[in-house]
Amino acid sequence: MSEPAPHRLPGDPPLTAEIARILRVDHAGEFGATRIYEGQLDVLGRSRAAGAIREMAEAEKRHFARLETLLRERRVRPTLLHPLWSVAGYALGAATALLGERAAMACTVAVEEVIDEHYQWQAERLGDDDAALRAELLSFRDDEIAHRDVAIAEGAEKAPVYDLISVAVKTGSRIAIWLSTRF
């Protein structure tokens, strides 16, 4: 789903509406990420990978807290699907962790690759219309790329059924993004 991300054009929705959608989906995504890592930690909290997972979980909590503030400041409502992402995120984290540390890391790689593209796309859409927000999203993106690299270093690509996990998690993440942008 790497559609081109043209900068805003005449006839596009007003900037405030577009920013509301951006913040809503990002708030949902960062919340989902915190839940994925919570699910992973409940299964792998005493494993060799626990330290790495805990660090990533802390970053997602920071991202989510920042988006909570942005939503409040800009009076944007959260997605109606928030309760669903709590359950789905946790289930995804716990289920992949039950397959083993490498499968959990494969899940992380897949999620972070989708989020990397997603933040990049949003940053291009925003252009200079809200340069401060764009800079924040790009700094989150840097963190997500670092998480992907950690997960690869932790052996993600050696997970059994890596390709299957990758395709399933990426598809699920894209559906979640699509839904959270609209609802």
Piece of the chain touching Fe ion by CB under 5 A; list 15-23, 59-67, 71-79, 117-125: 59-67
Please tell me whether residue 113 binds Fe ion under the rule CB under 5 A: no
Output the smallest distance, CB 115 to Fe ion, in A.
Answer: 7
97 phi and psi angles, rounded to 5 deg = -65, -35
Residue with smaller CB distance to Fe ion, 140 or 162: 140
Output the smallest distance, CB 12 to Fe ion, in A.
Answer: 26
Residue labelled with tokens 């890596």: 162
Residue labelled with tokens 């626990």: 50
Output the smallest distance, CB 30 to Fe ion, in A.
Answer: 5
Output the smallest distance, CB 140 to Fe ion, in A.
Answer: 5
Whether the Cβ atoms of residue 22 and residue 130 lie closer than 8 Å to each other: no
147 Cβ contact list (under 8 Å, min separation 6): 56, 59, 108, 112
Please tell me whether residue 144 binds Fe ion under the rule CB under 5 A: yes
Residue with smaller CB distance to Fe ion, 15 or 65: 65
Please tell me whether residue 63 binds Fe ion under the rule CB under 5 A: yes
DSSP 38-91: HHHHHHHTTSTTHHHHHHHHHHHHHHHHHHHHHHHHTT-PPPTTHHHHHHHHHH
Whether the Cβ atoms of residue 164 and residue 129 lie closer than 8 Å to each other: no
Residue with smaller CB distance to Fe ion, 27 or 147: 147
Residue with smaller CB distance to Fe ion, 116 or 124: 116
Distance of CA 42 to the CA centre of its chain: 19
Output the smallest distance, CB 56 to Fe ion, in A.
Answer: 6
Residue of the chain from 60, 101, 113, 154 that contacts Fe ion (CB under 5 A): 60
Piece of the chain touching Fe ion by CB under 5 A; list 15-23, 54-62, 66-74, 162-170: 54-62
**CA distances, 181 to each of 22, 57, 90, 111 (Å):** 7, 23, 20, 17
Output the smallest distance, CB 48 to Fe ion, in A.
Answer: 20
For binding to Fe ion (CB under 5 A), which residues are involved? 30, 33, 60, 63, 144, 147
